[in-house]
Amino acid sequence: MKYEFYIAKTHLKSRGGVFKRVIAWISIVGICIGVAALVIVMSVMNGLHIDLRDKILKATPDIMVLKFHNEPIDNYTTLQKKIEETAGVVKASPYIFTKTMIKGKKNRIDGIMVRGEIEPPDVKNNIIWGEYNTGENGIVLGKNLADILGVFIRDTITLYGFPYAKSLSLFNLKAKSFLVRGIFDIGLYDFNSSLAYTNLSLLQDLFLFGDKVTGIEVEIDNIDNADKIAKSIEKNIGYPYYVTSWKELNTNLFEALALEKFTMFVLLTLVIVVAAFNIIATLLMTVIGKTKEIGILLSIGASPSSIKKIFIFQGLIMGIIGTSMGVAIGWTACKLLSKYQFIKIPADVYNISTLPVAMQLPDFLIVSVATICISLLASLYPAWRASRLEPVEAIRYE
C-alpha cells in the first residue's frame, strides 16, 4: 500500500474535531442521498419508457411497408413473401388502416381509425370484455371509444366508408353494421378512444378496395433493431414502397422522454455537487489542522505531488463511500418498488397504477463514475493548497 493512501485513510479515521467529523459525514451522506435519488429516478424513467413502448407496440406494428402517395398495394402476396426473406423478419401480414365514421347508441364520431387484419394483432391479449373475434361482421373497440358510443358486448354499431378513389361525397357513402365482440384496453387513452379492429375482407368490401390493402405490417425478432431491419426491407423491395419503423413513428415522443431523463440527471447531480463543496470544506480544514504534519512530511523528503495525492485519495475515499452507500440504497429501493409496488398513482390520470421500475447497469455505472469524478475534482483545490506549503513555516505553524 502506498504511504499516501495509508495517510489519507489515517486522516479520515483520526479523531479530529467534532465539527470536522460532522462536515465529513455530511459530505458522505449528501453524496449518498444524491446517488440514491439519481439511480431511483433514472430507473423509474426507464420503467416509464419501457411501459410506454410496450403499450404503443400493442397497437403499432414493429415495421410498416406502405406505398408512396398513400396508394393501395395490389400485389401484396408477392410483396409479403419478399419481405419475409429479409433477415430478422418473423412474419409479414397485409392490413387496411383508414379513417371512418362510426355510429353507436349515443353518438356518431368522425375520424375513428379502423384496422382490418387477417391475423389477430397483439391487442388480443388486452381484451377486457368479450373476445377478439372479427368473424361474421364482428368488431373490437377500444374501451373509451365504446364508452363514448354507449355500446357494449353484442351491441350493434355502424361504420361509414367512402369507397376508395371516389370523391368525398355523401352520395358515395357506404354503411355497414358490425357486432361488438370485444373491448380492449391497452392503457393509452389516444388508442383506446380512437381505434377499432375488424376483419380485412370486411373493410375491403366497405371501402371497395377489392383485393388491395393499405400496407404490410412486419413482425421482427428484435424490436431494438427495427430501424436497421426497416432499411434492409426497403433496400430489398425498392420503389414505389417505403418502410417505416415504430421508432421512426414515435421519434418525438421518445426523444422527449430521453431529454426529460437527462434533465432529471442534471438536476439531481446538483445535489452531489453541493455535497462536493462539503468535501472541499472538510479537506481544507484537514489541511489547516494537519499543517505541522504536512511540514514534517515535506522536510523528510515527501514531494509536493505526494502531498497532493494524500488529499486527493482522501476526497476519493469519501466519494467512493458515499457512492457505494447511495448505489446500495438506490438498488434496494428499486427492488422493493418493483416487488411490492407500494407507491400508488391515479390510474385514470397516468394510465398506470404503480411506478414502473427498470434498473439498467449503464445508468448505475454512469452515476457512479460521475460522482467519483466530482469527488476527485472537489479534492484538487485543497490538495493544491497543501502541496504549496513551505516546510519550515508549516512546522512552526501553531
Give the model confidence (pLDDT) of 294-318 as tens digits. 777 777 877 878 888 888 888 888 8
Query: What cell does 196 get?
Result: 377499432
pTM confidence score: 0.77
Q: Which residue has the higher pLDDT, 355 or 198?
A: 198
Q: Mean pLDDT over residues 19-44, rounded?
A: 86
Residue with cell 418525438: 252
pLDDT greater than 50 at residue 165: no
What is the DSSP code (8-state) at residue 207? T
Q: Tell which residue, 242, 104, 96, has the closest CA to residue 164.
A: 96
The reported pLDDT for the residue numbered 183 is 93
pLDDT greater than 50 at residue 328: yes
CA torsion 310→313→319→323, rounded to 10°? -150
Share of the chain above pLDDT 90, in %: 26
pLDDT, tens digit (0-9, with 9 covering 90-100), for 100-131: 888 888 877 877 889 988 877 788 888 999 99
Query: What cell does 349 get?
Result: 390520470
Do 101 and 109 contact (CB within 8 A), yes or no?
A: yes
Q: Tell which residue, 204, 215, 234, 233, has the closest CA to residue 76.
A: 215
Share of the chain above pLDDT 70, in %: 91
Q: Tell which residue, 319, 256, 315, 311, has the closest CA to residue 287.
A: 311
Average pLDDT, the chain: 84
Q: Tell which residue, 22, 4, 24, has the closest CA to residue 280.
A: 24
- Checking 359-364 for CB contacts under 8 A at 24+ apart, the result is 359/39, 359/43, 359/46, 359/331, 359/334, 360/42, 360/43, 360/46, 363/39, 363/42, 363/43, 363/46, 364/39, 364/327, 364/330, 364/331
pLDDT greater than 80 at residue 199: yes
What is the DSSP code (8-state) at residue 152? -
pLDDT greater than 50 at residue 55: yes
Residues 152, 160: Cα–Cα separation, whole Å: 19
Do 272 and 371 contact (CB within 8 A), yes or no?
A: yes
Q: Where are the domains of the chain?
A: 3-55+253-395, 63-246
- Beta strands 174-184 and 138-142: pairing type? parallel
Residues 388, 376: Cα–Cα separation, whole Å: 19
Q: Mean pLDDT over residues 81-85, rounded?
A: 90
Query: What cell does 391 get?
Result: 516546510
Phi/psi-derived region of residue 351, left when phi > 0, alpha when psi is between -120 and 50, beta in every other case: left
Q: Which residue has the higher pLDDT, 9 or 188?
A: 188
Q: Mean pLDDT over residues 89-105, rounded?
A: 88
Peptide bond into 240 cis (omega under 30): yes
pLDDT band for position 167 (cuts 50, 70, 90): very low
The reported pLDDT for the residue numbered 65 is 92
Residue 48 CB contacts under 8 Å (≥ 6 apart), including other chains: 257, 356
pLDDT greater than 80 at residue 30: yes
Q: Mean pLDDT over residues 142-158, rounded?
A: 91
Q: Tell which residue, 86, 396, 12, 62, has the closest CA to residue 238.
A: 86
Radius of gyration, CA atoms only, the chain: 32
pLDDT band for position 166 (cuts 50, 70, 90): very low
Mapped onto helix, strand or coil, the DSSP state of residue 130 is strand
| CA 156 and chain centroid, separation | 40
Q: Mean pLDDT over residues 74-101, rounded?
A: 89
The reported pLDDT for the residue numbered 136 is 83
pLDDT band for position 168 (cuts 50, 70, 90): very low
